[in-house]
């Protein structure tokens, strides 16, 4: 059998990688490699067009200055191509700053507005406080109801419109806005959220779901992923939940 | 006169608090006395600092503060100056006042000739508001504990705003090779009241490489925003950079290493050019980051008008600050404790320990104990572990034990760095005490071999406490 191949677009690796989001790319690539598949990671920088043959797109979070540059690049170079790719079934994961710019707009603390590309029916406004800490989300992705754990660090509050559904329900932490109890956004094969940590290493089933979607795009049919030994990953996942549980911060019966 | 009375009363209370705290074993008494003194006399820092005959030296920056401060202390001692120093890494304003109060006599007069203070990056504005240092040294700026300090641009902006209080009687010592740090000197107002600026850097391209790695945080020109070009990168974003759009260049350093010769874990030898003449230096701790610390300390010595011979002796007499790099003997094993606290610093340590040639021989593989905590002082977000090049460790370890509150995250990171999973065990604080993890690490290290212990800040404090209760090291306030 020929080696299966997945083409991953790593957007703005030099500027939108302030919070260790690179761990997500490492995780996707290794989990392909461990299954004998080839992950072709293409770094796509500001000013460069979105390659046409991507199966999976990743964009992380960055500092304010970098976020402005990315906003500009979305408007001038990549925005429409990203939306078209998602319509064609390309999988997408965006985190924090990247997630915010995939909504309609981000109204920043200094009163300015960064336009987004409206992939998600969502908007973001600067909030009164910075939301920092562990997050646990209960989510249903690809038919499985599981927990996602991560670490959030954002001051923007994101609110979803009727065209986006949340990634999950917040069991601990702030989530999108600290008010409605939801975290993240989902539109077709595109996901956005505030979960650093890094996210995918501690939530390997979510990584596999993205790989599954990417392969479906690449081959036009469902490809079954052989299971991996996820003991180390699951321990890291459980450790986050356990320490919060010991602090008595999770409602009993929630997990 | 009332001011003086108030100050000496405050100092007396502070001294008492320090003594009581140590007698009762409540800890080092490194911050509480300062808290009390400042409460009783809010201008205590300014008043005490003004009375130092040779003024004060303040050191800040992301990495290398403690080591650089220690190096300067050793240089000042070689010059015969009596130094008051916040030695134990108590680097908030209260820690500085505690040190001053401990040193002063009951009339509030310092006994020391010079003050030497390591200051937390976020505290620099408060510090400069209360005392005008004779020398302000800024080592570098990397992302560190984003949950606490904010992003690097924010930290740089806070520094920039606080610098105008310095006048022509101060000297600003800056790392020429760190773009954001060097920009602080360029942006000072011109004019007679401007502080003198001394830049330091490395001019030995053999120690660098040509590409930025992902720990680089200041990639874009401060003036026009396009990415810098580099003639050579020494580590992170530190190197010889220029902007191809607006022409901004790294400033020419006045103090620079013309030749750097690393010698494994034993340290490095360097040749240095300074306005006071050339000198050869030997620094007894490894890594290019410590070469920068030695350059920074030598530059501070030059700023204070010391002679090259005094600087040379001081650097050579130096012993590493607690836990930054420390060697202890434990039951026939040699143990190195090396502090790791952010991606750039951790990468330098990993590079120093693991980038040597592999012989494939078991004797070349290392025994490693990594302790990652996520307490407030460590930074509560451990995402940064994914920016450290643990990939360099693959195939080069006999075992890695992970401990601390985030042991499981660390073990998972190592798995994805392709460090053999069978060689990695987590002994996290959810199920094991640090003492149990430590005992495991020692037991797995064969007698006659070396164990490398890499703890984050609070993990290092816990390890120090444990090692001192086991009788291996002194309590940290005795350093």
From chain A, the residues in CB contact with B421 under 8 A are 232
From chain B, the residues in CB contact with A246 under 8 A are 430
Q: How far apart are CA A218 and CA A166, in angstroms?
A: 26
- Shortest distance between the Cα of A248 and any Cα of chain B, in A, equals 15
Among A60, A72, A201, the strongest candidate for a mutation testing the B interface, having the largest count of B CBs within 10 A, is A201
Largest CA distance in chain A: 56
- Shortest distance between the Cα of B400 and any Cα of chain A, in A, equals 14
Q: Of B187, B144, B186, give the one whose Cα is nearest residue B340.
A: B144
Looking at every residue in chain A, the average pLDDT score rounds to 93
Q: Quick one: closest CA in B to A134, which residue? A: B381
Are B233 and B291 in contact by the 8 Å Cβ rule? The answer is no
Is the Cβ pair A235, B426 closer than 8 Å? yes
Q: Of B372, B461, B456, B360, give the one whose Cα is nearest residue B411.
A: B372
**Which helix (H) or strand (E) covers residue B442, if one does?**
helix B434-444
pLDDT digits (tens, 9 = 90+) for A159-217: 999 999 999 999 999 999 999 999 999 999 999 999 998 999 999 999 999 999 999 99
Is the Cβ pair A151, B383 closer than 8 Å? yes
Are B114 and B151 in contact by the 8 Å Cβ rule? The answer is no
- Shortest distance between the Cα of A241 and any Cα of chain B, in A, equals 11
Are B64 and B296 in contact by the 8 Å Cβ rule? The answer is yes
Is the Cβ pair A233, B225 closer than 8 Å? no
Q: Of B294, B397, B389, B300, give the one whose Cα is nearest residue B340.
A: B389
From chain B, the residues in CB contact with A108 under 8 A are none
Is the Cβ pair A20, B384 closer than 8 Å? yes
Residues 6+ apart with CB under 8 A from B422: none
Is the Cβ pair B385, A197 closer than 8 Å? no
Q: How far apart are CA B243 and CA B239, in angstroms?
A: 13
Q: Is B151 on the interface with A (CB under 8 A)?
A: yes
Q: Is A254 on the interface with B (CB under 8 A)?
A: no
Q: How far apart are CA B409 and CA A40, in angstroms?
A: 26
Are A49 and A78 in contact by the 8 Å Cβ rule? The answer is yes
From chain A, the residues in CB contact with B411 under 8 A are 232, 235-236
Among A47, A63, A95, the strongest candidate for a mutation testing the B interface, having the largest count of B CBs within 10 A, is A63
Which of B214, B383, B430 shows the shortest C-beta gap to A198? B383
Q: How far apart are CA A227 and CA B99, in angstroms?
A: 59
Q: Of B416, B405, B214, B176, give the one whose Cα is nearest residue B299.
A: B176
Measured distance between the N- and C-terminal CA atoms of chain A, rounded to whole angstroms:
41
Q: Is B426 on the interface with A (CB under 8 A)?
A: yes
Model-level pTM greater than 0.80?
no
From chain B, the residues in CB contact with A196 under 8 A are 381, 383
Is the Cβ pair A201, B411 closer than 8 Å? no
**Which helix (H) or strand (E) covers residue B399, if one does?**
strand B397-404
Angle between helical axes of B179-186 and B152-162 (0-180°, round to 10): 20
Q: What does the CA dihedral B117, B118, B119, B124 come to, rounded to 10 degrees? A: 60
Residues 6+ apart with CB under 8 A from B64: B139, B140, B289, B290, B292, B293, B296
pLDDT digits (tens, 9 = 90+) for B433-461: 999 999 999 999 999 999 999 999 999 99
CA angle B96–B98–B103, rounded 5-degree value:
100
Q: DSSP per residue over chain A, as a string?
A: -PPPEEEEEEE-TTTS-TTSTHHHHHHHHHHHHTTT-EEEEEEE-TTSPPPTT-SEEEE----HHHHHHHHHHIIIIIHHHHHHHHHTT-EEEEETHHHHHTSSEEE-TTS-EEE---SSSEEEEEEEEEEEEEEEEEEEETTEEEEEEEEEEEEEEEEE-TT-B-SEEEEES-TTTSSSSEE-EEETTEEEE--BSSHHHH-HHHHHHHHHHHHHHHHSS--PPPP---HHHHHHHHHHHHHHHHTT-S-TT--
Q: How far apart are CA B227 and CA B217, in angstroms?
A: 11
Q: Of B288, B290, B295, B292, give the one whose Cα is nearest residue B273.
A: B295
Kindly give the parts of chain A with pLDDT less than 50: none
Q: Is A21 on the interface with B (CB under 8 A)?
A: yes
User: Which sequence positions of A are flagged as catalytic?
Assistant: 96, 196
Instruction: Per residue of chain B (479 residues), give pLDDT as tens.
Output: 455 677 877 777 777 777 666 655 555 556 777 777 887 788 888 888 889 999 999 999 998 888 899 999 999 999 999 999 886 567 778 888 888 888 888 888 889 999 999 998 888 998 898 889 999 999 999 887 666 666 788 889 999 999 999 999 999 999 999 999 999 998 887 777 899 999 999 999 998 887 777 777 778 888 888 889 999 999 989 999 999 999 999 999 999 999 999 887 778 999 999 999 999 999 988 888 899 999 999 999 999 999 999 999 999 888 655 456 778 889 999 999 998 988 888 988 898 888 765 444 545 799 999 999 999 888 899 999 999 999 999 999 999 999 999 999 999 999 999 999 999 999 999 999 999 999 999 999 999 999 999 999 999 999 989 998 988 875 444 44
Residues 6+ apart with CB under 8 A from B439: none
Q: How far apart are CA A223 and CA B85, in angstroms?
A: 64
From chain B, the residues in CB contact with A65 under 8 A are 153, 220, 225
B119 Rama sector, left if φ>0, alpha if ψ -120 to 50, beta otherwise: beta
Q: How far apart are CA B427 and CA B419, in angstroms?
A: 17
Is the Cβ pair A132, B214 closer than 8 Å? no
- Shortest distance between the Cα of A11 and any Cα of chain B, in A, equals 14
Is the Cβ pair A69, B225 closer than 8 Å? yes
| Tokens coding A40 | 């072709």
pLDDT for position B34: 78
């Amino acid at each position: 059998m020929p080696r299966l191949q997945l083409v991953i677009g790593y957007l703005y690796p030099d500027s939108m990688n302030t919070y260790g989001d690179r761990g997500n790319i490492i995780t996707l690539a290794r989990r392909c490699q461990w299954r004998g598949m080839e992950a072709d990671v293409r770094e796509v920088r500001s000013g460069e067009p979105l390659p046409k043959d991507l199966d999976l797109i990743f964009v992380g979070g960055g500092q304010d200055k970098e976020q402005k540059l990315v906003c500009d690049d979305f408007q001038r170079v990549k925005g429409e191509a990203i939306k078209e790719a998602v319509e064609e079934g390309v999988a997408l994961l965006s985190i924090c700053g990247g997630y915010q710019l995939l909504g309609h707009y981000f109204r920043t603390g200094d009163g300015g507005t960064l336009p987004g590309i409206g992939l998600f029916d969502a908007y973001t406004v600067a909030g009164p406080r910075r939301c920092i800490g562990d997050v646990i989300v209960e989510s249903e992705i690809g038919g499985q109801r599981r927990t996602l754990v991560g670490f959030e660090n954002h001051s923007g509050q994101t609110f979803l419109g009727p065209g986006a559904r949340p990634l999950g329900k917040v069991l601990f932490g702030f989530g999108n806005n600290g008010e409605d109890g939801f975290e993240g956004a989902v539109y077709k094969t595109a996901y956005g959220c505030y979960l650093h940590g890094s996210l995918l290493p501690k939530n390997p089933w979510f990584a596999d779901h993205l790989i599954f979607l990417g392969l479906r795009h690449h081959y036009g049919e469902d490809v079954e992923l052989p299971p991996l030994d996820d003991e180390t990953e699951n321990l890291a996942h459980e450790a986050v939940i356990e320490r919060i549980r010991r602090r008595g911060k999770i409602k009993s019966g929630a997990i | 006169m009332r001011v003086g009375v108030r100050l000496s009363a405050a100092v007396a209370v502070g001294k008492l608090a320090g003594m009581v705290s140590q007698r009762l074993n409540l800890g080092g008494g490194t911050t509480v006395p300062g808290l009390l003194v400042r409460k009783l006399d809010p201008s205590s820092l300014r008043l005490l600092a003004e009375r130092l005959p040779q003024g004060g030296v303040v050191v800040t920056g992301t990495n290398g503060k403690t080591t650089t401060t220690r190096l300067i202390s050793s240089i000042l001692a070689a010059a015969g100056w009596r130094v008051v120093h916040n030695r134990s890494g108590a680097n908030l304003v209260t820690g500085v006042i505690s040190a001053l109060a401990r040193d002063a006599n009951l009339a509030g007069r310092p006994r020391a000739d010079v003050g030497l203070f390591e200051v937390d990056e976020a505290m620099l504005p408060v510090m400069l508001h209360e005392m005008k240092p004779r020398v302000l040294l800024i080592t570098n700026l990397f992302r560190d504990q984003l949950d606490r300090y904010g992003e690097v641009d924010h930290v740089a902006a806070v520094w920039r705003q606080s610098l105008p209080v310095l006048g022509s009687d101060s000297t600003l010592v800056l790392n020429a090779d760190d773009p954001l740090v060097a920009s602080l000197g360029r942006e000072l107002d011109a004019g007679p009241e401007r502080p003198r600026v001394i830049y330091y850097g490395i001019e030995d391209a053999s120690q660098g490489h040509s590409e930025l790695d992902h720990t680089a945080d200041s990639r874009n020109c401060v003036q026009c925003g396009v990415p810098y070009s580099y003639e050579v990168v020494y580590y992170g974003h530190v190197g010889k950079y220029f902007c191809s759009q607006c022409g901004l260049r790294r400033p020419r350093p006045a103090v620079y290493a013309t030749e750097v010769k690393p010698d494994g874990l034993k340290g490095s030898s360097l040749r240095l050019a300074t306005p006071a003449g050339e000198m050869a230096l030997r620094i007894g701790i490894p890594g290019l980051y410590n070469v920068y610390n030695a350059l920074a300390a030598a530059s501070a010595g030059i700023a204070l008008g010391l002679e090259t011979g005094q600087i040379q002796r001081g650097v050579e007499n130096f012993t590493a600050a607690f836990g930054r790099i420390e060697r202890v003997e434990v039951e026939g094993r040699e143990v190195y404790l090396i502090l790791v606290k952010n991606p750039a610093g951790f990468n330098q340590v990993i590079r120093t320990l693991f980038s040597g040639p592999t012989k494939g021989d078991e004797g070349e593989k290392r025994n490693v104990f990594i302790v990652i905590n996520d307490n407030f002082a460590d930074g509560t977000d451990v995402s940064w572990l994914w920016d450290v090049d643990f990939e360099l460790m693959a195939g080069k370890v006999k075992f890695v034990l992970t401990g601390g509150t985030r042991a499981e995250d660390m073990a998972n990171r190592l798995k994805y760095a392709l460090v053999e999973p069978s060689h990695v065990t987590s002994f996290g604080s959810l199920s094991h005490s640090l003492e149990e993890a430590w005992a495991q690490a020692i037991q797995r290290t064969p007698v006659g071999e070396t164990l490398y212990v890499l703890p984050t800040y609070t993990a290092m404090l816990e390890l120090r406490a444990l090692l001192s209760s086991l009788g291996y090291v002194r309590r940290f306030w005795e350093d």
